[in-house]
Amino acid sequence: MLKRRIIPCLDIRDGRVTKGIEFKNNIDVGDPVLLSCHYSDHGADEIVIYDIAASSENRPPDFSTIEAIAAKSFVPICIGGGIRDFSDASRCIASGAEKVSLNSIAPRKPELISEIANHFGVQAVVLSLDVLIDESCPSGYRLFVQGGRTATHWDMLSWIEFALPLGVGEICVNSINQDGKRSGYDLLLLQKLKAHVNVPVIMSGGAGNALHIVEAFKEGADAALVASIVHSGEITIRELKSRCADAAIPVRLDW
C-alpha cells in the first residue's frame, strides 16, 4: 500500500514565509530556507513552496531561493507561483525542484501542461486548484486564480476534466473557505474529487490538528498539506505521523 504523505506548505512573499486566513491578513512566519531545512530533517515527505505574489506581480519565482532551499533540503520540492511558460518551469527544475505546480497560468495556457509533461514526465506536473464554494456551479465549487483573488468561469470538475488528459500527474486542491481556519479540511470537496479523478489528490486548507489529517486520509487523500499547525510549533510532523500510524494510516516513519 502506498504511504500517505504529509507535506509542509511554505507561502513566500518578499523572501519570507507568511500565513493568513482565506488568503488575507498574512503574518510573518520565518525564513524559507531554515524552515525547509527543518522540515526536511524532521519527517516531511515533500515540501511545497508557493510564491504567492509572483503571478499577480507578473514575475517568475525567486530562483535563488529555490536553489538555496534545494541545497539544504533532502526531500522532493514542488514550486508554484509565477510560472509563466516552459522556460520558467524548466528553470525551477534546474534549480532543484522535482515538480512544478500550475495554478493561475493553466487556464490561460493549458498547452503548458503538455509541454512540461512531455519533457519532464507527468510526475513533474501538479495541477493546483484554489476553489471557493459556489452554488451556481454544478460541482458546488468555482475555480479561482491569482492567489485566490480572481474568479474564473470554470466549474472545478469541468476544469479538471479538461486539464487532466493534458498531462497532469497530481492534483493539489485548496479550499479557500477553509484556508488558515484550522477547522478541518473540506471533506465533501475531497470526496467529489476522488470520485472523478484517477491521479493522486493532495488536500489543502484547514488542518488544525492530527485528527483532521487522519480524517482526510481515511476519505482517500493521498497527501495532506499542512502550514499553520506546524509553523506555529504546536505539533511536529513526527507527532502528526505518529497519530496517523496509530489510526492505521500507512506513513513513512524512518528518516
Alpha-carbon distance of 250 to 3, in angstroms, equals 5
* Residue written as grid cell 492530527: 210
Q: Which residue has the higher pLDDT, 166 or 147?
A: 166
Domains in the chain, number: 1
| Cα separation values, 190 from 38, 40, 139, 197, Å | 29, 27, 12, 11
CA-CA-CA-CA dihedral for 89, 54, 163, 2, to nearest 10: 70
At 22 the pLDDT is: 53
Range of the domain at 180: 5-246
Cite the active site residues.
Answer: 11, 130
User: Does residue 252 form part of some domain?
Assistant: no
pTM of the predicted model as reported, rounded to 2 decimal places: 0.92
CATH code, domain carrying 115: 3.20.20.70
Query: What's the rounded Cα separation, in Å, for the pair 249 and 101?
Result: 26
| Average pLDDT over all residues of the chain | 93
pLDDT tens, residue by residue, 19-70: 765 555 566 778 999 999 999 999 999 999 998 888 778 889 999 999 999 9
User: Which residue type, as a one-letter code, is found at position 245?
Assistant: A
